[in-house]
């Protein structure tokens, strides 16, 4: 065990925050994190408080709540959230908590309602969160206007819904504008979720994200995925071959002529958008590289659109192709338990069994997700050993992991610093 981990484990509960700040300040750059960041319950609680309750999170697709009254729910740690389509078509977000005695309002993952009604005592809310009915027993002077649902911050870009539980979240307007631009050709109001899976990985959420941010492991782990996926998505990547650079140049000319955005865009370390070709001769992430769906997405001129890759830290990566898209959402469940949800998207008029085979559509990423699960879980088992100490990342193959760990460290330090006065007050 390294000295920074020992420093943390020896700290009393009230000192865990200070010890976390010290570990982050002293960590070796371009190395993995000290052990407690991957398995300690106190540090997991800080992750939830300082990252998942403060940063912007990918939550759902607008196509999942297409009409007035459609809703979805999700759990961010102990926080249950409702996303509901309002009367004017806007997306509202609320804490899934009745203002009476705190019961959850919506008990299902998705559904459609005329009003939001608490199943406990039937307090009734409008879709915009206003309390409409609390019964006559509250008295004549009861102020309904004072007990509306508590809102959360919601941003929508390119048909993707992001939420933040912070009181004043950091701005993401540039990312929303990027999503609107890059996803415009897909006409995101005209898509549907064709398939969905949720798997639990017995690993810390950071190990799940680290595994995603590199393809160093791909040759040895993902035979199905490598039937179509390029290991790199940037012609400036030092590993990029002349053949890849030539393919990129040809495809970028085609995309430019079709008016389809493709340029690599970095928005800090948190967000990344780029379109990159799949392997020559393939057009989709399927076992044979052929389209999985016969109806193309949006206004795309053909299936050969490569993969539009969209990264959003801390909890999402995505692939948009000509015939379908695959979106991923990560939500931590515990220090060593993470929920990974995958959704396959197709044109809204595509019919299962006619335009696409659901099993063929999801075969590559079902296999890849299971392979990644096993890798992350074995990584976790090794990290838990007293023999673990932070190891070096490859700057050539694991630069994406370095970026993620740097982003995480920066945001943790910034958010822990902002929370320090309130913490000191509680401790005193």
Residues 92 and 143 in one domain: yes
| pLDDT for 425 | 30
Mean pLDDT over 397-402 rounds to: 95
136: pLDDT strictly greater than 90? no
174: pLDDT strictly greater than 50? yes
Residues 222 and 183 in one domain: yes
DSSP tag of 212: H
Residues 177 and 285 in one domain: yes
Residues 384 and 265 in one domain: yes
Residues 119 and 139 in one domain: yes
pLDDT digits (tens, 9 = 90+) for 55-78: 999 999 999 999 999 999 999 999
Residue 386's SS3 state is coil
Please give the Cα distance from 210 to 214 (Å, whole number): 7
Mean pLDDT over 147-157 rounds to: 98
Instruction: Sort strands 271-276 and 307-312 into parallel, antiparallel or unpaired.
Output: antiparallel
Average pLDDT, whole number, for the chain?
93
Query: Which residue range is the domain that position 340 belongs to?
Result: 1-55+170-421
The answer to whether position 164 is within a domain reads no
423: pLDDT strictly greater than 70? no
Residues 174 and 244 in one domain: yes
pLDDT digits (tens, 9 = 90+) for 226-277: 999 988 788 778 788 888 889 999 999 999 999 999 999 999 999 999 999 9
Percent of the chain residues topping a pLDDT of 70: 94
Domain count, the chain: 2
The answer to whether position 85 is within a domain reads yes
Residues 283 and 369 in one domain: yes
The CATH number assigned to the domain holding 198 equals 3.90.380.10
The CATH number assigned to the domain holding 104 equals 2.102.10.10
pLDDT digits (tens, 9 = 90+) for 72-113: 999 999 999 999 999 999 999 999 999 999 999 999 999 999
8 A C-beta contact, residue 391 and residue 31: yes
- Which residues are 266's β-sheet partners? 272
Q: Which of 118, 152, 186 is the last residue of a domain?
A: 152
Residues 328 and 191 in one domain: yes
Give the sign of the dihedral formed by CA 393, CA 398, CA 401, CA 402.
positive
The answer to whether position 394 is within a domain reads yes
Q: Give the pLDDT band (50/70/90) at residue 428.
A: very low
pLDDT digits (tens, 9 = 90+) for 8-50: 565 555 688 999 999 999 999 999 999 999 999 999 999 999 9
Strand positions, DSSP E, 86-123: 91-95, 110-112, 116-117
* Residues contacting residue 45 through CB under 8 Å, at least 6 positions apart: none
pLDDT digits (tens, 9 = 90+) for 303-349: 999 999 999 999 999 999 999 999 999 999 999 999 999 999 999 99
Q: Give the pLDDT band (50/70/90) at residue 7.
A: low
Residues 265 and 354 in one domain: yes
217: pLDDT strictly greater than 90? yes
Residues 288 and 180 in one domain: yes
pLDDT: is 10 or 394 the higher one? 394
End-to-end CA distance of the chain: 32
Residues 255 and 320 in one domain: yes
The answer to whether position 81 is within a domain reads yes
Q: Which of 101, 125, 152 is the last residue of a domain?
A: 152
Residues 48 and 188 in one domain: yes
The answer to whether position 77 is within a domain reads yes
8 A C-beta contact, residue 381 and residue 201: no
Which of these, 44, 49, 42, lies nearest to 12 by C-alpha position?
A: 42
The answer to whether position 427 is within a domain reads no
The answer to whether position 158 is within a domain reads no
Please give the Cα distance from 274 to 272 (Å, whole number): 7
pLDDT digits (tens, 9 = 90+) for 266-290: 999 999 999 999 999 999 999 999 9
| pLDDT for 426 | 32
Which of these, 55, 82, 48, lies nearest to 312 by C-alpha position?
A: 55
């Amino acid at each position: 065990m390294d000295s920074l981990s020992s420093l943390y484990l020896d700290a009393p509960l009230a000192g865990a925050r200070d010890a976390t700040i010290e570990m982050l300040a002293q960590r070796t750059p371009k190395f993995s994190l000290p052990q407690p960041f991957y398995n300690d319950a106190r540090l997991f609680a800080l992750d939830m408080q300082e990252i998942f309750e403060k940063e912007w999170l990918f939550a759902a697709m607008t196509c999942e709540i297409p009409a007035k009254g459609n809703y979805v729910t999700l759990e961010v740690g102990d926080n249950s959230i409702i996303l509901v389509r309002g009367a004017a078509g806007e997306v509202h977000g609320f804490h899934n908590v009745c203002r009476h005695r705190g019961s959850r309002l919506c008990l299902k993952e998705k559904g459609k309602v005329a009003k939001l009604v608490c199943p406990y005592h039937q307090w009734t809310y409008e879709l915009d969160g206003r309390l409409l009915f609390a019964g006559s027993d509250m008295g004549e002077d009861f102020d309904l206007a004072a007990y509306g649902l508590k809102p959360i911050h919601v941003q929508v870009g390119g048909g993707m819904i992001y939420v933040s539980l912070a009181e004043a979240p950091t701005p993401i307007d540039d990312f929303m504008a990027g999503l609107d631009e890059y996803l415009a050709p897909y006409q995101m109001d005209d898509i549907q979720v064709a398939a969905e899976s949720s798997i639990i990985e017995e690993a810390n959420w950071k190990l799940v994200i680290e595994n995603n941010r590199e393809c160093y492991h791909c040759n040895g782990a993902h035979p199905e995925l490598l039937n179509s996926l390029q290991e790199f998505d940037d012609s400036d990547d030092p590993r990029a071959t002349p053949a890849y650079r030539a393919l990129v140049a040809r495809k970028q000319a085609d995309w430019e002529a079709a008016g389809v955005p493709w340029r690599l865009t970095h928005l800090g370390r948190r967000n990344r958008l780029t379109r990159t070709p799949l392997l020559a001769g393939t057009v989709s992430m399927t076992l044979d590289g052929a389209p999985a769906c016969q109806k193309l997405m949006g206004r795309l001129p053909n299936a050969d659109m490569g993969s539009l890759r969209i990264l959003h830290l801390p909890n999402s990566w995505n692939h948009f192709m000509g015939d379908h898209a695959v979106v991923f959402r990560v939500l931590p469940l515990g220090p060593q338990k993470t929920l990974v949800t995958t959704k396959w998207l197709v044109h809204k008029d595509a019919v299962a069994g006619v335009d696409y085979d659901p099993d063929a559509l999801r075969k590559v990423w079902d296999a890849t997700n299971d392979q990644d699960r096993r890798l992350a879980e074995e990584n976790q088992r090794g990290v838990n050993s007293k023999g673990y100490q932070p190891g070096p990342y490859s700057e050539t193959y694991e630069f994406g992991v370095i970026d993620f760990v740097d982003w995480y460290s920066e945001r943790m330090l910034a958010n822990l610093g902002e929370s320090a006065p309130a913490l000191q007050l509680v401790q005193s």
